[in-house]
Amino acid sequence: MADVIQNDGQTLTLPNGARFHAVWLRDNALDADTRAPGNGQRLITLADIPDDIAISNAAIAGDILTVTFAPENKTCDFPLAWLDAHRYDQPRPGGLIADGLTTWDASLNADVPTGHLPDLQTSPDALRAWLSAVRKFGFAKVTGVPVSEGSLFQIVDLFGYVRETNYGRLFEVRTEVNPVNLAYTGLGLQAHTDNPYRDPAPTLQILACLENSADGGENMVVDGFRVAERLHRENPGWFNLLAGHSMRFAYAGEAGVALHARRPLVDVSPEGQLIGVRFNARSAAPNVDVPFDKMADWYAAYRRMSQIIDDPAMEVTFKLAPGEAFIVDNTRVLHARKGYSGAGHRWLQGCYADKDGLLSTLVALEAQT
């Protein structure tokens, strides 16, 4: 019909200029034989689409585009609004940081995102706001957590499931004699992401405070995406070196465990968007993936990343009181602990969970409003 501007068989151009390929439209058809009406799952494979798929006819009536495919002679309807929401013929917004994320530095100290556990458990609005802050900033605090062992699971219960590891369903963080892991001593730690020697690394970490009468021992978080942005701005070549080569991480601190991962310090999607960072000096293994003639520059870039992470202008610092906890997106936000003295006690419990479950819960909550 006249409303369709162009149809050359292989591609279609709508009156508003939107362009689609025949094979794309057929693969993404919305009819009940292509997509299960209940759960939206695709019922066909590419083998079900003829090699010579073409558009034999296309017409717009009201808000619907009706396409007939040859040689199947199959007719499918596409709402124009759906087509508009799924255009791929225009440049997507560029930039390192995905839409909806806000990177931060020490200025966020004045406004740390915080939720109160009893509110989060009873108010969908409060939960949505808190989950949204975790998505946006990659970390948030929680208050009102019962001061009892295992109560941090109540935070995970808000959105998903614990990810169990060889450290257990939860792990204790407190001073121990003869520690197997530096996290259990009173030394300060450089900001890091946890468990980079796993693939996938845990995507969320939760730490809840049960006792904190020791001097010092503040927690500190750094936005790894802001670190990466800064490195990219200062020296794109160094950024590309870190993004373009793998790093090695390993942990074998206990019997029967030999974890290894080979991932870049800065993970970037094919579209140039930051996916994640991994940074943990304690777990870094010898890097043999950088060519000899690039190793000196790679180390210069690695050192600069480390310096930016250590810059106090990047850190948000807080001392957890008993009954307080925080969550970090472990693919983005680094965490650390300042040194603390042996006087008094400091006892945290930690666990891991999965970010995809948190985001799923958030999107489902957002769909209800």
- Residue 150's CB: how many other CB atoms inside 10 A? 12
Q: In the complex, which residue's CB is closest to Fe ion?
A: 194
Minimum Å gap between C-beta 278 and Fe ion is 12
Question: What are 27's two structure tokens?
Answer: 């693969």
Minimum Å gap between C-beta 135 and Fe ion is 21
Taking CB under 5 A as the criterion, which residues in 105-164 touch Fe ion?
A: none
Minimum Å gap between C-beta 276 and Fe ion is 16
Of 60-68, 122-130, 141-149, 191-199, the segment contacting Fe ion by CB under 5 A is: 191-199
User: Does the protein bind Fe ion through residue 229 (CB under 5 A)?
Assistant: no
User: Does the protein bind Fe ion through residue 194 (CB under 5 A)?
Assistant: yes
| Cβ nearer to Fe ion, comparing 7 with 195 | 195
| Cβ nearer to Fe ion, comparing 146 with 216 | 216
Minimum Å gap between C-beta 205 and Fe ion is 7
Of 144-152, 165-173, 186-194, 289-297, the segment contacting Fe ion by CB under 5 A is: 186-194
User: Does the protein bind Fe ion through residue 329 (CB under 5 A)?
Assistant: no
Q: What angle do CA 118, 119, 122 make, to 5 degrees?
A: 90
Segments in 9-147 forming alpha helices (H): 22-27, 80-85, 117-122, 124-137
Segments in 147-287 forming alpha helices (H): 153-156, 224-234, 236-244
Taking CB under 5 A as the criterion, which residues in 18-37 touch Fe ion?
A: none
| Cβ nearer to Fe ion, comparing 194 with 223 | 194
Minimum Å gap between C-beta 172 and Fe ion is 13
| Cβ nearer to Fe ion, comparing 268 with 329 | 329
Segments in the chain forming alpha helices (H): 22-27, 80-85, 117-122, 124-137, 153-156, 224-234, 236-244, 292-310, 355-368
Minimum Å gap between C-beta 350 and Fe ion is 8
Beta strands in the chain (DSSP E): 6-7, 11-13, 19-21, 54-61, 64-70, 74-79, 114-116, 139-143, 162-163, 171-173, 204-212, 219-223, 247-251, 259-263, 266-268, 274-277, 315-318, 325-329, 333-337, 346-353
Minimum Å gap between C-beta 335 and Fe ion is 6
Of 121-129, 149-157, 190-198, 316-324, the segment contacting Fe ion by CB under 5 A is: 190-198
Kindly provide the b/e burial profile for residues 29-44, where b requires at least 16 CB atoms within 10 angstroms of the residue's own CB.
beeeebbeeeeeeeee
Q: Where do contacts with Fe ion occur on this chain (CB under 5 A)?
A: 194
